[in-house]
Amino acid sequence: MEEWVGQKWHHYITKKSSFHYPKAVINLVDISKSLAVFFRALGGDAGMTLGHTSALKNHSHRNWVQKISGTGKKSESGHFNNDHFYLPEKIDYFPDQKSNVDLYYWLAAIGSFNHSPMADKVIEHNQLLTHLALQQWPGLKPLYQRLLDAQLQQRPSIKSLPAVVQPAEIALQGVLKNPHSYRVGRYDPDHMPAPVKLWLRPLSLSQALSLSRNEPSEQKPAELSDAIKKAQKNKRYQAEDVADNDGKDGFISFRLESMFSWSEFINVDRTEDDSDDEDAFRVADDLDQLSINQGETSHKLRLDLDLPASDYDDVLIEQGIMLPEWDYKKQIYHANYCALQLMQLRVDEKTQWSETLKQQASLLKRQFEALKPVSTWHNRQADGEEIDLNAVLDFKADQQLRQQQTESLLYRQQKKQNRDLSSLILTDLSLSTDAHVNDEKKVIDVIKEALYLLSSGLDAAGERFAIAGFTSKKRSQVRYYNIKGFDDAFDAYCEEKIQAMKPAYYTRMGTAIRYASEQLKQQQSQQKLLLILTDGKPNDLDKYETRYGLEDTKKAVQEARDMGLTPFCVSIDYEASTYLPYLFGAQGFIHLNNALDLPRKLPKLFFQLVT
């Protein structure tokens, strides 16, 4: 009974101490796509990634109800950190959903000016952002006015606040009502009122060490959806760096016979459980700061993906092809920066495609034969294989009538209606393709099947195409596999090379696209399609893992377009929608939610792209 009363009291006093309306809640994951488009349309940095923030500690004034209930110590406020723009995971500050949605869009609007113009000055910082937003986009004024009226109703009266807090609240409300010309007076930054929901937190980069958790989500308990689980794992938390304790100080005394116990000798399996701690996220949210130790240890074990011995490695055809790389921070190319090696897959054993896959290939060949060039007769030609009898009769009739003719077109010529197209299929062979799609297949297996089916169809249609794969280990080891050249036949040996593809290393995509573009550019076709298959975003062991890799890949895609090529990306990465529009444009990619759909949909996609 006492526990029940305590719970009821906690719920009552917590509700009284804060403004939250769970029935009107809006989750960021539900509007993230449209919000990202809005953010970038207003001029927000296209390289920024929208993410979720955790509740950060604030030192604002709390009323007596908040002190009793223990609330008001933290708040979720939008802020920037490196190449991320973080917003609250959910908003339920207002009683109607429209206002909560409007608040997300307002935060995106003021955030589109990027980063903190006045770090550590909350009022002046947001006055400038609000002024710029309303001045540049007057259409936002009605939205801002609705949010302002709702926010002012929740602000405490100035007289109810302690004298030391009143100047800050006066300045705060003055800026909210008149962000264009209000002059902020003196106030004590150490005695601030409650945070404003319409504002961003002006965190400087030196204030916090942010932790990113980007692992793919596992199954969540029944009470939370997969989307919420994924959102939690991508939160960023405030952290502090703590000194290392080398363990050499202090004195420990123990009885020697207590070192072992009876349980130590029981033959049981003590394998480590590396599954997610279901309580970890709640604990992290409750902590004001995460303490991180970066001290030295007495022993280190460095793990890396080393190159295999030459007897087991693929065959090196040519090495040291030097290619440039784009540095977006310096806005320059690093000439001869990446070394690309031409490789040939080692075919050790022959495997057979499944009968089901062969049947699909046979069906696909019949469908693709519709693309095969068909010979047609063209009448009234100056030269040709046969005489055009109708043209001869008309010519003789015109002669009898003495009508003037400038040229006698008396022949028929047979011509093939060719589509002047060359296609290069570039596939990602990084280690991430070794992940399982289900109990039977891995991502690399799905890619192999898709390449086999597509190649079978293209070969039946008489198309001119090539297949290549790539992987990398830093800029000195970018491997490019020529699986099928433009002049090579799609035969049994080519199928064996497709089956021999295996995952390895990382994804330096920009370098591979540059080399593939040069190969495709040399073709004499009028149309040139560069089709890229990948299961993740560009990454490598070095700085390519960050935004640097995205910017270099985007630059390589732009270079391909400047050459007259048509780059198009097919991705099975579940986070593809967060970066592919930036790399390839809104119409330059397709994202498949289920990797198993790739073999079935890839040929159809190609058919749609070229017809």
Residue 6 lies in a domain: no
Residues 507 and 385 in one domain: no
Residues 507 and 577 in one domain: yes
Query: Where in 116-229 does DSSP place strands (E)?
Result: 211-212
Last residue of a domain, one of 125, 159, 177: 177
Say what the pLDDT of residue 8 is: 60
What CATH number is associated with residue 496?
A: 3.40.50.410
Say what the pLDDT of residue 412 is: 80
Q: Measuring CA to CA, which residue among 535, 344, 561, 546 is closest to residue 427?
A: 535
Measure the CA–CA gap between 28 and 249, rounded to whole angstroms: 48
Last residue of a domain, one of 148, 177, 206: 177
Indicate the DSSP class of residue 65: H
Query: Where in 193-293 does DSSP place strands (E)?
Result: 211-212, 236-237, 239-242, 290-293
Residues 395 and 336 in one domain: no
Residue 381: Cβ within 10 Å count: 18
Residues 471 and 392 in one domain: no
Residue 511 lies in a domain: yes
Residue 320 lies in a domain: yes
Residue 186 lies in a domain: no
Residues 384 and 431 in one domain: no
Residue 231 lies in a domain: no
Residues 406 and 497 in one domain: no
| pLDDT confidence bin for 236, thresholds 50/70/90 | low
Do 346 and 313 touch, CB atoms closer than 8 A?
A: yes
Residue 564: Cβ within 10 Å count: 12
Residues 396 and 491 in one domain: no
- Kindly report the average pLDDT of the chain as a whole number: 78
- pLDDT tens track for 55-85: 666 666 666 566 665 565 666 778 777 677 8
At residue 274, the 3 state secondary structure works out as coil
C-alpha torsion angle, residues 428, 40, 517, 489 (rounded to 10): 50
Residues 23 and 163 in one domain: yes
Do 424 and 563 touch, CB atoms closer than 8 A?
A: no
Residue 225 lies in a domain: no
Q: Measuring CA to CA, which residue among 584, 314, 593, 575 is closest to residue 470?
A: 314
Last residue of a domain, one of 177, 197, 212: 177
Structural domains in the chain (count): 3
Residue 309 lies in a domain: no
Residues 476 and 337 in one domain: yes
Residues 401 and 512 in one domain: no
Say what the pLDDT of residue 275 is: 44
Residue 99 lies in a domain: yes
Say what the pLDDT of residue 452 is: 94
Average pLDDT in the 536-555 region? 90
Give 150: exposed, middle or buried? Use CB within 10 Å, 0-12, 13-18, 19+: buried
Residues 117 and 133 in one domain: yes
Q: Measuring CA to CA, which residue among 317, 301, 349, 359 is closest to residue 515?
A: 317
φ, ψ (nearest 5 deg) of residue 58: -125, 155
- pLDDT tens track for 437-477: 888 899 999 999 999 999 999 998 888 999 999 999 999 99
* Residue numbers of the domain that contains 407: 375-416
- First and final C-alpha spacing in the chain: 73
Radius of gyration of the chain (CA): 33
Measure the CA–CA gap between 107 and 110, rounded to whole angstroms: 5
At residue 472, the 3 state secondary structure works out as strand
Q: Which helix (H) or strand (E) holds 512?
A: helix 509-521
Do 457 and 368 touch, CB atoms closer than 8 A?
A: yes
**Residue carrying structure tokens 């952002």:** 129
- pLDDT tens track for 472-521: 999 999 999 999 999 999 999 999 999 999 998 999 999 999 999 999 99
Average pLDDT in the 106-133 region? 83
Residues 70 and 139 in one domain: yes
